[in-house]
Amino acid sequence: MNIAIDGPAGAGKSTIAKKLAKELGYIYVDTGAMYRAMALYFLEQGIAPEEEAAIAAAAERAEVSICYQDGQQQVLLNGENVNGRIRREEVGNMASATSIYPAVRTKLVALQQKLAKSADVIMDGRDIGTCVLPDAEVKIYLTASAYTRAKRRYDELREKGEECDLSAIQRDIEERDDRDMHRETSPLKQAEDAVLIDSSELSIDGAVAAVRAVWQERSRKAAGGAAAGEENTCR
Ligand code: DC
């Protein structure tokens, strides 16, 4: 079974997906990290986000792959582990700006689909339920208000001792939402068969429980279907 979790930045997708993956023994695949690795490559090559032809050519040269160390996903860019370098704000914004290009998406979607064929995965991103895994048994659209998401980011940065401005963070989040939701190729949207979960008022455990409940219900249905199928073949 595959679980697809889509939603805007800061909704808690990765925190929740990681916890549930551990509990269910699934492999967690963070697709945003792949777009970030590509974006890091474009930044290092000095390419601007508007230079589509240069980005398409660079995407051909950038080999992104993932591996797991102590159960944690590591992203490799041309064989080098870049996990520690992809979390910067600049890389996230470049990933959002360059993920609009089909040349970037085609390559990464192929990698994501291959991974999902090889194991039970919980995959999070923007287009997993709509495009990467349209047949995923469980689809979740996880969201939260822009204020809640900005406040979570603000608290995270303050905890690290970084000075920051809550309204600037919220503006940044809203801009990112707008880009991710209104691009031409695979925009962020709720798949028709996805369950909407708003985490604004939920604790992490509360959100995990909500996703687990959907998974349990779908697992029961799948087991029921399989049992009915077995019965039919016996007759
Ligand atoms: O989830 P994240 O913040 O690490 O993702 C960074 C950017 O990558 C996000 O703003 C849009 C892009 N992305 C995408 O287009 N499709 C995905 N499946 C995952 C991320």
pLDDT, tens digit (0-9, with 9 covering 90-100), for 108-145: 999 999 999 999 999 999 999 999 999 999 999 999 99
User: What is the percent of the chain where pLDDT is above 70?
Assistant: 96
Q: Are residues 168 and 223 in the same domain?
A: yes
Query: What pLDDT is recorded for position 228?
Result: 64
Q: Are residues 36 and 19 in the same domain?
A: no
- With a Cβ cut-off of 6 Å, ligand 1 is lined by 9, 31-32, 35-36, 92, 95-96, 99, 125-127, 176, 180
Res 21 pLDDT > 70: yes
Closest CA to 39 of 115, 111, 80, 97: 97
Q: How far apart are CA 116 and CA 186, in angstroms?
A: 19
Owning domain of residue 1:
1-26+120-235
User: Among the three residues 89, 119, 149, which one is the final residue of a domain in this structure?
Assistant: 119
Res 226 pLDDT > 80: no
Q: Are residues 6 and 58 in the same domain?
A: no
User: Among the three residues 63, 86, 119, which one is the final residue of a domain in this structure?
Assistant: 119
Ligand 1 centroid from CA 126, angstroms: 6
Query: What pLDDT is recorded for position 227?
Result: 67
Q: Are residues 179 and 85 in the same domain?
A: no
| CATH number, domain with residue 223 | 3.40.50.300
DSSP annotation string for 6-59: E--TTSSHHHHHHHHHHHHTPEEEEHHHHHHHHHHHHHHTT--TT-HHHHHHHH
Ligand 1 centroid from CA 127, angstroms: 9
Q: How far apart are CA 92 and CA 113, in angstroms?
A: 22
Mean pLDDT of the chain: 94
- How many domains, in total, are found in the chain? 2
β-strands 27-30, 121-125 pairing = parallel
Ligand 1 centroid from CA 228, angstroms: 40
Q: Are residues 193 and 173 in the same domain?
A: yes
Q: Are residues 47 and 95 in the same domain?
A: yes
Q: Are residues 124 and 114 in the same domain?
A: no
Who contacts 148 (Cβ-Cβ below 8 Å, separation ≥6)? 199, 200
User: Among the three residues 72, 103, 119, which one is the final residue of a domain in this structure?
Assistant: 119
Measured over the CA atoms of residue 42, residue 186, residue 150 and residue 16, the dihedral's sign is negative
Q: Are residues 223 and 124 in the same domain?
A: yes
Q: Are residues 223 and 131 in the same domain?
A: yes
Res 165 pLDDT > 70: yes
Give tens-digit pLDDT for 64-105: 999 999 889 999 999 999 999 999 989 999 999 999 999 999
- pLDDT band at 230, cuts 50/70/90? very low
Ligand 1 centroid from CA 29, angstroms: 12
Element (H, E) at 74: strand 72-77
Amino acid at site 183 = R
Residue 190, classed as helix, strand or coil, is coil
Q: Are residues 112 and 186 in the same domain?
A: no
